[in-house]
Copies of this chain bind each other. A is one copy, B any other.
Amino acid sequence: MAGFTDATQVRTTGDGGFDADLDPVWTVGGKPNGGYLLAVLARAAIDSAAAHPDPLSASAVYLSPPDPGPAAVTAEVLRTGRSATQVRTRLSQKDRTCVEALFTLGTLAAATAPRWVDAAPPPLPAADTLSPTPAHAPGSGLHIDMLDQIDQRIDWKSVGDPPGELRGWLSLPDTPWDPISLLFAADAFPPATFTLGSNGWTPTLELTVYVRARPAPGPLRVRQRARLLTEHLVDQVCEIWDANDHVVAQATQLAAYRMPPT
């Protein structure tokens, strides 16, 4: 078992290739979490791009969930400009492509008051008045190992108000949040679909994260909400504020889901 920084390390093998070792604890139902995989790919992208150390945007398609254990990553720098470097990355396991992601890298400043923001962060009860989400929630049918590694406190009293939305706090017990772990944070909350009658797994097809600033130390405030459920697909928006109430990351994902039989 390794902390988040160690668990997302990659080791260069030359020519844009990297070895990764997918940690069994950053998993949901035994499979590595999608945001964790995005962070692994980000490390390879950043290692390949000398000029720009931070992810500004990360867009991934998820093809096939890898298992914990060894995986191969490739990174190709597409362009290096003055203010941004773009990199294409791929994670494979046993010659099976599992995730492919495009990164825009740049240099992020510490979060400060923005020029403009559309809304204030949502109110939340103090973290110490909420309970950590257990890794094995009764009735969920799924063991969410990664919940043993993080401190996630959801405001259950406000879930579904408004419908399709849940809010809470998120901490990494031993490590301050940084632009790479924010990629994980953007996919670490439960699917908002469970507020709408579906408590099953929602495998991610596409995930895009914008990291907007380096977060202040302290817990993140997270809002996850569903926008549209069609027959088999749902999109979710995740917004993240740092401990100083500044927006530090925004994500959108398209996921599959099944409604329970009616």
User: Which residues of A come within 8 Å of B, CB atoms?
Assistant: 56-57, 59-61, 63-64, 78-79, 81, 83-84, 86, 88, 97, 100-104, 109, 114-118, 162-164, 196, 205-206, 208, 210, 212-213, 225-233, 235, 247, 250, 252, 254, 256, 259
**Interface SS, A side:** strand
Check B104 against A254 for contact (C-beta < 8 Å): yes
Pick the contact of A57 from B64, B114, B254 — CB < 8 Å?
B254
Check B102 against A86 for contact (C-beta < 8 Å): no
State the number of copies, please: 2
List residues of chain B with CB within 8 A of the CB of A196: 115-116
Check A229 against B116 for contact (C-beta < 8 Å): yes
Pick the contact of A212 from B86, B88, B228, B252 — CB < 8 Å?
B228
List residues of chain B with CB within 8 A of the CB of A97: 78-79
A57-B254, A116-B228, A212-B228 given; name 16 further pairs at CB < 8 Å: A57-B61, A59-B208, A63-B79, A63-B86, A64-B79, A83-B232, A84-B205, A88-B100, A102-B206, A114-B229, A115-B231, A116-B164, A116-B196, A118-B162, A228-B247, A252-B252
Instruction: Pick the most buried of A116, A205, A250: most chain B CB atoms within 10 A of its CB.
Output: A116
CA distance A250 to B210 in the complex (A): 16
Q: How far is the CB of A253 from chain B (nearest CB, A)?
A: 9
Pick the contact of A118 from B88, B225, B254 — CB < 8 Å?
B225
List residues of chain B with CB within 8 A of the CB of A259: 115
Check A61 against B59 for contact (C-beta < 8 Å): yes
CA distance A162 to B119 in the complex (A): 11
CA distance A173 to B2 in the complex (A): 58
